[in-house]
């Protein structure tokens, strides 16, 4: 027997189906007089099959497909342009339903395939070495818009059926858009969708402490990366202004208490700025800051850009900084910048024309 909704006689409220988790879709189906598996089917079509057109959901009755299309949508970012770097990195310009634009990046062979996605249009953190912060915060992304970037990149790269990593290191501060970010992660890790293992997802934060404390209680736990960039409050107040509210001592105390998987570590990202935070004293202070934390350090020599008032340090200064950490037992790597020639590297994402 076909229900009233499947006959198209019940008006559904306008809804972005891509922003609903599978249990939400199942409950919505039951509430509308449908069997719960109809909600599960819709979820699978969107997040496993990558379908954004209800008419293509062939396992649903035609009347239900028509009703869904009449009263809801699947909000998938629209690809407007892409640029391919000489190293294979690809930057995607994506447009949202309201005309706002964001950028996402595909980084091949890192050693896995990696999608770098955004959580906000712009960013409110105003870090002094990051172009995205120059935009300010225009708005938060929805869970559907965050997870939708992964679907678009998976289709465009042909990796929908392959293993890939996700890093929340694009535009925006993930913990400043906490609820939508975590909902997107639940959608992305659902075994009826893309089923991305949490160990393949890394969330990078500059240190929004209330969000970090909430994250510690989450059942789905991504890898954690802390954007540190300084070893004194005076330095960090300038480079990462959120430090004026949440000081280094508080941040490091929360990191020490953060639950980690067996053999897990917190990654500390440290952008090296010539003659600013790259001295031997800075390196030694960093070692002391990390005491008692299962940590590894990613050093990122600055990606220079117009509008950023800092310079990239020499390789000699970078290597000397790394050597001090390594000599004192800190696991350290120097990240090779990818996509610099198309301004796709860390800190370089900037949409210059926004509506």
Catalytic residues: 103, 346
Name the pairing type of β-strands 114-116 and 101-107: antiparallel
Other Cβ atoms within 10 Å of 235 Cβ, number = 18
**Degrees to nearest 5, angle at CA 170 with 322 and 250:** 60
DSSP helix/strand/coil, 307: coil
In angstroms, rounded to a whole number, what is the distance separating the alpha carbons of residues 241 and 245?
A: 8
Distance CA 15, CA 67 (A): 12
Q: For residues 312 and 309, what is the distance between their CA atoms, to the nearest angstrom?
A: 10
Which tokens belong to 40? 């599960």
Question: Which CA distances in Å does 241 have to 34, 124, 207?
Answer: 51, 10, 10
The DSSP secondary-structure symbol of 16 reads: B
């Amino acid at each position: 027997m076909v229900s009233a909704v499947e006959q198209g006689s019940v008006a559904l409220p306008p809804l972005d189906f891509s922003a609903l988790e599978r249990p939400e879709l199942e409950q919505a189906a039951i509430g509308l007089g449908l069997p719960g598996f109809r909600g599960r089917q819709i979820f699978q079509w969107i997040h496993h099959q990558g379908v954004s057109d209800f008419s293509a959901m062939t396992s649903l009755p035609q009347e239900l497909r028509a009703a869904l299309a009449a009263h809801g949508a699947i909000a998938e970012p629209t690809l407007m342009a892409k640029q391919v770097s000489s190293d294979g990195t690809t930057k995607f310009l994506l447009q949202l339903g309201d005309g706002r634009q964001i950028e996402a990046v595909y980084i091949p062979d890192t050693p896995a395939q990696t999608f770098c996605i955004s959580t906000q249009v712009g960013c409110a953190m105003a870090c002094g070495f990051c172009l995205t912060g120059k935009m300010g915060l225009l708005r938060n992304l929805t869970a559907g818009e965050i997870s939708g970037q992964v679907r678009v990149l998976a289709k465009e790269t042909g990796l929908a059926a392959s293993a890939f990593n996700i890093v929340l290191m694009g535009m925006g501060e993930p913990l400043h858009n906490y609820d939508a970010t975590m909902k997107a992660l639940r959608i992305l890790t659902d075994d009826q969708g893309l089923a991305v293992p949490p160990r393949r997802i890394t969330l990078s934060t500059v240190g929004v402490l209330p969000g970090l404390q909430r994250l510690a209680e989450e059942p789905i736990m991504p890898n954690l990366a802390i954007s540190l960039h300084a070893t004194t409050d005076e330095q960090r107040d300038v480079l990462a202004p959120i430090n004026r509210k949440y000081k280094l001592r508080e941040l490091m105390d929360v990191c020490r208490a953060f639950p980690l998987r067996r053999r897990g570590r917190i990654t500390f990202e440290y952008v090296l700025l010539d003659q600013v935070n790259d001295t031997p004293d800075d390196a030694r202070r960093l070692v002391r800051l990390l005491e008692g934390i299962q940590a590894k350090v990613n050093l990122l020599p600055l990606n220079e850009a117009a509008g950023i008032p800092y310079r990239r340090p020499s390789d000699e200064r970078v290597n000397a900084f790394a050597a001090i950490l390594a000599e004192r037992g800190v696991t350290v790597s120097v990240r090779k910048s990818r996509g610099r020639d198309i301004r796709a590297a860390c800190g370089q994402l900037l949409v210059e024309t926004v509506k």
